[in-house]
Structure 1
Amino acid sequence: MIYCKRNNYKLYMGDCLQELKRIETKSVDMIFADPPYRLSNDGITCKSGKMASVNKGEWDRSRGLKEDYNFNKRWIRACNRVLKDDGTMWISGTYHVIHSIAFILLEMGNYIINEITWVKPNAAPNMGCRCFTASQETLLWVKKDKKANHVFNYSFMKELNGGKQMRSVWQIPTTPKREKVYGYHPTQKPKELLYRCIMASTNKGQLVLDPFCGSGTTGVVAVENERNFIGMDNLEEYVELTNKRIEAI
């Protein structure tokens, strides 16, 4: 259902598979999707220097390999329907989900433009000490077809990178406290990360959609930079958080 509607953004509360049906076919210029990584397995992590549970909520629990795969296939298919033929989609994930997502994309005929490695210089330490400390996530930048004429603001990204071609390894710290003043979400992405994605692949006035908007960082960056935004989440507390953050701009 529609939770909030303004001139430059609209928020839906509900399952994205249902809410995406409300969106017109081939109407969206860019999608940023941060789907569940399925990491809530009763393990431990480090939070603010203390041991803490990795559990984020029932929405992040695995339903089993097959069901997780089918869920990703369904929402990607739904996103492909609303994405314009020359639009692009960004999908973030850790190794727990991103490889199966890449397979689904190729299976559906999507073309992977780039694989971005987001390196976190301040990543949380590994508490188990039985493997290397996970300090990166992967972003897949894709389009519906290899021949599609997608937007890439090459000159701007080069300027942003000090006059040199921007490479596919991005070193960006995790979300700072100043971006969490309106509330907390366990997987909130930093604005700097979304800024690069949105500014690289959209122009002013274009429409950005996030089917798992969480704390709304995608919407905040989109609206701040004169793009339009559609956000979706199935939990009211996060839709409300998104709305607060965008209204504060």
Structure 2
Amino acid sequence: MTISNQVLLGDVVQNSALLPDNFFQAIITSPPYFGHRQYSTNSEQSAYEIGRETDVDEYVSNLVKAFESIKPKLKSDGLLWLNLGDTYRNKRLLGVPWRVALALQDNGWILRSDIIWHKPNAMPSSVTSRPTTDHEYVFMFSKSENYYYDADAIREEHVTFTSKSKMRGGRNHFGKPGGTPENGKNKGNRNLHDARWDQAFHPLGRNKRTVWTIPLSKFRGAHFAVFPEKLVETCLFASTKKGDFVLDPFTGSGTTGVVARKHGRNFVGIELVDEYQRMAQSRISEVDMQLPLFDVQ
């Protein structure tokens, strides 16, 4: 593929025609949020810029069209990871992420999970009439009921029997036969009731939960917070293998491409604004020159 590890300049719908069908194992992206920021000062580019619509329904419709155009490019067993933040208008929370998620579901995408991205270093707010927002959403979509997902690649450390456990009795249950006399869903589980909880837990850790605490990131070339590499890594490891192709149709500063290349995946991006297309391509090309320095997995 001649556009491997390249960032295409232009609109998503138009550029999607250049991409082969049934090719990408994962789409990992964070489109511009509704009404947050103007990225382009070029009038020709601005006509295609998502996020600057005056009406939230138009914004949702434009995103649905964009993802409809790239859906054929995703493999039948591939996954789409979509990060979106919300918007307030006239002191009303619009619920933009869920509007988009449900519209994509209506358009044929299968919504498999909603994830809360908790940002521990979220920007402080002077608001006093509601809680300060320190989260965004990540939605996991599939094209079909059968898709590639590597749960082992993103397992978390077990909490039960550690100092972080909130279970009544804590670690005192461990090693005590009859120490867990539940009558609920664990009733009859011999491992648990013989005090062998260790045998009921996966050796690589517990299954990934739906709240991910990941700090915001900064990149010196961008004057705003960027997609954190750790967030991209989690999506990447769960849905791809080394050598797979990853697509980001809203590339921005290029973090998805940087992470993909660092970990031995191939990448194609699409970016509307020429300034960010150059920035992203430069970052990705720099990683390619330094690949021997990375512990590719």
TM-score, normalised to structure 2, is 0.71
Any runs of at least 4 consecutive aligned residues in structure 1 with deviations exceeding 4 A, and if so which? 159-162
Deviation at 1:56, TM superposition (A): 4.0
Whether 2:92 is the aligned partner of 1:110: answer no
What is the distance in 2 between the residues matched to 1:11 and 1:205?
18
Whether 2:212 is the aligned partner of 1:170: answer yes
Q: Percent identity at matched positions?
A: 30
Whether 2:245 is the aligned partner of 1:207: answer yes
Alignment deviations for residues 61-105 of structure 1 (CA, whole Å, 9 cap, x no partner): 233133212201101111212111111101111234211111122
Whether 2:64 is the aligned partner of 1:73: answer yes
Between 1:64-73 and 1:218-227, the stretch displaced more is: 64-73
Unaligned runs of 5+ in 1: 41-54
Is the Cα–Cα contact under 8 Å of residues 56 and 186 in structure 1 kept in the other structure? no
**What residue number does 1:91 align with?**
82
**What residue number does 1:48 align with?**
none
What is the distance in 1 between the residues matched to 2:29 and 2:223?
15
Which of 208, 216, 227 aligns to 2:265? It is 227
Whether 2:27 is the aligned partner of 1:11: answer no
What is the distance in 2 between the residues matched to 1:231 and 1:200?
20
Aligned amino acid, residue 66 of structure 1: D
**What residue number does 2:155 align with?**
158
Is the Cα–Cα contact under 8 Å of residues 212 and 233 in structure 1 kept in the other structure? yes
**What residue number does 1:191 align with?**
229
What is the distance in 1 between the residues matched to 2:223 and 2:79?
26
Aligned amino acid, residue 215 of structure 2: P
**Higher alpha-carbon Rg:** 2
Whether 2:24 is the aligned partner of 1:28: answer yes
**What residue number does 1:50 align with?**
none
Unaligned runs of 5+ in 2: 41-48, 88-95, 159-203, 288-297
What is the distance in 1 between the residues matched to 2:39 and 2:281?
21
What is the distance in 2 between the residues matched to 1:122 and 1:104?
31
Change (3 A) 1:159 1:170: closer
Question: SS of the residue aligned with 1:244?
Answer: helix
**What residue number does 1:123 align with?**
122
What is the distance in 1 between the residues matched to 2:57 and 2:99?
11
Deviation at 1:185, TM superposition (A): 5.1
What is the distance in 2 between the residues matched to 1:169 and 1:9?
31
**What residue number does 1:64 align with?**
55
Count of matched residue positions in the alignment of Structure 1 and Structure 2: 224
Question: SS of the residue aligned with 2:57?
Answer: helix
Query: When you count strand as a share of all residues, which structure comes out higher?
Result: 1
